[in-house]
Amino acid sequence: MMKKPFVTLEKVQEIVKTYPTPFHIYDEEGFSQNAKAVYDAFSWNKGFKEYFAVKATPNPRLMEILKSFGCGFDCSSMTELMLSNAIGASGEDIMFSSNDTPPEEFVYADKLGAIINLDDFTHIDFLEKTIGKIPETISCRYNPGGVFTMANQIMDNPGDSKYGMTKEQLFDAFKILKEKGAKRFGIHAFLASNTVTNDYYPELAGQLFELAVELQNKTGAKVAFINLSGGVGVAYRPDQESNDIAAIGRGVHEQYDKILVPAGMGDVAIFTEMGRYMMAPYGGLVTKAIHEKHIYKEYIGVDACAVNLMRPAMYGAYHHITVLGKEDAPLDHVYDVTGSLCENNDKFAIERQLPKIDKGDYLFIHDTGAHGYSMGYNYNGKLKSAELLLRKDGSVELIRRAETPRDYFATFDGLKVYDKLKEIMDSEGV
């Protein structure tokens, strides 16, 4: 089975005349339609809001487009809060879900009026001392412990996760927060990552809805929203069946009507934080084959590396690869596709069946629209690539330029060596 890229060889050949490889490119038409589908799937819930996880793709141009569809932003750091603020998000359009949080970040989140999602019971006292109050709207993150199973299959291990409060802590937290002036409460939980099943959200929703009813009855705290967080995944492999967001929405709706409505809680808003689902399939990393190597295995070296896409090196994650212009060619060669880092795990594919690749071919690495560019780093002094937006009309917009040596060396400013570095960069015309 194959995946179809949203750009053709001809389009890439046109793009590289202006923007050399490697680069990440995003499909505006694709992720716009997807955002609409998400809102349609949850339109039954009056207060529904998707809080796009900024960490997935922290680009203001993409965030602006998502904001136009009604999305808010899930932030986990000062810079993500600043980025959201810069594009006009404020107040309850921002959910601040952090852990091991520095005090200045709580201060800034409160200044913006963001909904603060407390990761730990001890953060109640920490937050109050830091900002001098407990906000009237507050959320708490829940961790049920143990393992999370569905249909007798282990999906993930919350008990081994550093995030969230135990059930007992959550009840105590609601009571204390209510005493300290909180009036609207939220529950947040993330129990499994990148699930490719329409049953995950409904299963999680059922557990959280029952918990919400118990919390409200026993503590008297008004549960105003339930945040299902992320975990809805994408089909990275071509033989996987993609999630059906409409079916997921219906499944959550059924649990809502079954559990919350009879409890008199039919006004509870549903929130989500689907960074991966919102963007991953609508981004690709375009890279050029520049070397081939024939030793104990067959290697194709490309001009991108793990700096541009870390997931295969870090997790052994699968990303499908299309050799542009050879979509219909037989997959009769077996390659490791590698980058140039001084690390043997810098491989985009291992023993992957692909068509014959020639130097100069362009490779499209699929599903990099979330946790692709954003996880990059600068090991070996490598520089991060440009980000491009393929507009609905077929034009291409530069939404982040590629890094230069001047960016890499900028933090040496003020040191004696910086003058010499400037002299070298000037002489090399960079």
Dump pLDDT digits (tens) for 177-194: 999 999 999 999 988 889
Write out the residue limits of the CATH 2.40.37.10 domain(s) in the chain.
281-410
Mean predicted lDDT score pLDDT of the chain: 96
* CATH code of domain 25-280: 3.20.20.10
Q: Report the pLDDT averaged over residues 91-117.
A: 97
Higher pLDDT, 337 or 144: 337
- What tokens appear for 14 in the block? 């046109």
Question: 115-118 and 49-53: which strand pairing?
Answer: unpaired
pLDDT of residue 168: 97
Q: Which residue has the tokens 């090399």?
A: 428
Distance CA 208, CA 189 (A): 8
Let me know: does 156 contact 148? Beta carbons within 8 Å.
yes
Fold (CATH) for 281-410: Lyase, Ornithine Decarboxylase; Chain A, domain 1 (2.40.37)
pLDDT recorded at residue 152: 58
**Residue range 126-132: mean pLDDT, rounded:** 98
Residue 425 binned pLDDT confidence (cut-offs 50, 70, 90): very high
In the chain, CATH 3.20.20.10 sits at 25-280
What tokens were used for 214?
A: 């118990």
**149 pLDDT higher than 80:** no
Closest CA to 286 of 398, 387, 404, 393: 387
